Amino acid sequence: MKRSRIWSWVTFALGAAYFFIPLIATVEFSLRMRRGEYSLDAYRVVLADPRFQQTFLYSTVIAVFTILIGVLLVVPTAYWIRLRMPRIRPVVEFITLLPLIIPAIVIVFGYIRMYGSSSPLPFLATNRGADVLLMIGYATLALPYMYRAVDTGLRTIDVRTLTEAAQIHGAGWTTIIARIILPNVLIAVLSGAFLTFAIVIGEFTMASLLNRPAFGPYLQNIGANRAYEPAALAVIAFAITWGCMSVIQVLSRFAPKSANNPI
């Protein structure tokens, strides 16, 4: 037992060191912009940069619309599969895993070939069309996380009983999904939403190849041309990502822990 505990702590210490030492080094380097002393100059420069504000705002707006697309697509789909077609759930789960297997660069090149200015659907001929295509691409990348979050939430409620009770009272399918199912899986939806937000904020490939002013390309551009500002940006991006993960952990405490679901 003692040896097991010792090796457990050694493993934990090695993992923590592997994770925290580079992070501490990055934070320390980001504070060295002023020679001979620590300062927050790099963070001031980054936060005052108009490009930082513009790109971060752009990516935030794109993330919000991407989350809406994901919710409108995933919640009714996962609900209907769980209610009516549980046999095809493995097929749908496999399809939702494809974005983890297919590289983003392959997806975006397919978009360029299909929706270029010379195609029957020239989304890329206008900025708004390119924005719509980017949101769809981000929704695709976030699909594995959003679907699993919603599917996990649906497992905690009795979907069939709730549906039958709502139908007895004369509710239609739209009312059932919007006013009964969605509120019951709201915590799971929010978890998927924060994961989607983290993906959109840091994504580079799609935004760069579609030539959109997103936060990911801005991070790459600063990293290629500056010294201390990239470290500050890395710390900021890390804080945003872990902030989203912390919110997910807090929200998970309010989620239902069990359900008597016969499906």
pLDDT at 255: 57
pLDDT at 80: 92
pLDDT at 263: 40
Within a 10 A sphere around the Cβ of 204, how many other Cβ atoms? 15
pLDDT at 1: 62
What is the C-alpha to C-alpha distance for residues 159 and 123, in angstroms, rounded to an integer?
A: 38
Give tens-digit pLDDT for 94-125: 999 999 888 889 989 888 888 887 778 888 88
What is the C-alpha to C-alpha distance for residues 241 and 253, in angstroms, rounded to an integer?
A: 19
Q: What is the mean pLDDT of residues 129-133?
A: 91
**Distance, first Cα to last Cα, the chain:** 42
| Averaged pLDDT score across all residues of the chain | 86
**Main-chain dihedrals φ then ψ at residue 262, nearest 5 degrees:** -80, -5
Sequence-ordered list of residues with C-beta below 8 angstroms from that of 145, at least 6 positions apart, any chain: 192, 195, 196, 199
pLDDT higher than 70, residue 257: no
pLDDT higher than 80, residue 53: yes
Burial tier of 125 (Cβ tally within 10 Å: 0-12, 13-18, 19+) = middle
What is the helix (H) or strand (E) element at residue 233, kind and residue range?
helix 228-252
Give tens-digit pLDDT for 13-28: 898 898 889 889 888 8
What is the C-alpha to C-alpha distance for residues 258 and 174, in angstroms, rounded to an integer?
A: 26
The answer to whether 216 and 207 are in contact (CB under 8 A) is yes
pLDDT at 143: 93
pLDDT higher than 60, residue 261: no
